[in-house]
A and B are shown apart, each in its own frame.
Chain A
């Protein structure tokens, strides 16, 4: 039966079958690409933000951000029950040779420094995607107070999701670039004893500082990033509307093709086939065209989201993909999206073929033979 189905497709409906496969694969690729990108962005954000500080306190004034006195800020934060391990951060955005870079000047723990030696004054460790001249391993930073540092290493390429544009400097160098005094910090990172208090504790924290502060929390950040991921996928899904319309037309045409061959089914039934045989033949034909088309469409979408050097192709119609790379691949998230798209496209297609073929082949063979006259 399978061989018969293939022979019927290839010898009698070759053009239509190839066109059907291309259309199905394109519809699957468009829908799966948008949803996979959105899911991968959400997974990446959620995964990494779990390791971000629970709260960040920034001092603000009428001009916006202002440096805060590190020791005084730590002392104020310690007064608030539930706030743990307040630590000043030295960081900011400075001009680099090819655009802005994120400078970090925190003192790190000894364990992480075993993998990469900390920079001394005049030295820097830079992110894997920061371009650097191959001959001169020096980097000029800053537009106001500027300095040139020797690059002594790069963060591992596997850490690019966190360190892509980061320049790690000695604290004194970072302070100089960011115009901070020796006792000042950019802001204050705080952990919480009860993470459920993330929203409630902010009022107590704000009241504990003698100057106006702005507090950002991890949950809000996660929500903001999640919304960005959903919006990215949502906007991309708008582009899929014509593809979904095409999918409906494909399903309808698959049914109409069966209905137009009633005389043929009458002939088969006159030769001894049953209605179930005809329906089975249709299902085999639909599977021969549908299964490879859906799998190829899913594989193309998967490769373009999760294989970095193929992402620019996806960016041709999803601009958000141009700015991201090396997304986190969640087995649950990506697997569910792939299954969802496969069933979303495959089931209506098979159901339409089955129902129409059953209806078109049901009846007396003689009536079917007369149907096309």
Chain B
């Protein structure tokens, strides 16, 4: 009974089956390499300008939050005082 494959073809190989695996592996390695490279290059002196100005301006908190947010100047907040009553909260 014929197998549907040409005579002389090697029946033990899985034609092309290895390529998708290689593609997935290469994509994974590329993504991991890109993250590693970004971590390596960005972590050097990425915030030099920020801490220089923080020190120069004598700031006590980073500006991860904009002014008016309770986390912007938390050192001035008192637990017993509502933040709306704080002298550092500007009313519109």
Contact = CB atoms under 8 A, between A and B. Distances in A.
Contacts of B20: 6, 10
Interface in A314-367: 323-325, 327-331, 334-335, 338
A51 B55 contact: yes
Contact of B17 (A4, A47, A48): A4
B38 A292 contact: no
A87 B60 CA distance: 14
A159 B31 contact: no
A163 B53 contact: yes
A164 B66 contact: yes
A52 B74 contact: no
A196 B5 CA distance: 81
Interface in B13-65: 13-14, 17-18, 20-21, 24-25, 27-28, 31-32, 34-35, 38-40, 42-43, 46-65
B69 interface: yes
A295 interface: yes
A166 B18 CA distance: 57
Given A162-B53, A295-B32, A323-B65, A47 B47 contact: yes
B34 to A, nearest CB: 7
B63 A163 contact: yes
A78 interface: no
A100 B90 contact: yes
Interface stretch (A90-98, A237-245, A272-280): A90-98
A87 B14 contact: no
B43 A330 contact: yes
A159 B67 contact: no
A330 to B, nearest CB: 6
Interface stretch (A199-207, A253-261, A298-306): A298-306
Interface stretch (A103-111, A132-140, A262-270): A103-111
Nearest to A65: B87
A2 B34 CA distance: 26
A106 B58 contact: yes
B90 A160 contact: no
Interface residues of B, number: 57
Given A64-B87, A106-B57, A159 B49 contact: yes
B64 A159 contact: no
A84 interface: no
Given A100-B89, A159-B53, A295-B28, A166 B59 contact: yes
Given A64-B81, A292-B28, A112 B53 contact: yes
A20 to B, nearest CB: 13
A64 B87 CA distance: 8
A161 B47 contact: yes
Contact of B67 (A93, A108, A216, A224): A93
Contacts of B28: 291-292, 295-296
Nearest to A332: B43
A92 B88 contact: yes
A6 B54 CA distance: 55
B52 A288 contact: no
Contact of B57 (A156, A166, A331): A166
Contacts of B31: 295-296, 298-299
A221 B74 contact: yes
A248 interface: no
A205 B51 CA distance: 27
A4 B63 contact: no
A225 B62 CA distance: 10
A93 B57 contact: no
A41 interface: yes
Interface of B: 13-14, 17-18, 20-21, 24-25, 27-28, 31-32, 34-35, 38-40, 42-43, 46-69, 71-76, 81, 86-92
Q: 10 tightest A-B contacts by CB?
A: A100-B68, A164-B63, A162-B54, A3-B17, A161-B50, A158-B49, A100-B67, A331-B43, A159-B49, A100-B90
10 contacts: A6-B14, A51-B54, A53-B60, A108-B56, A143-B91, A155-B53, A158-B50, A216-B76, A299-B32, A329-B39
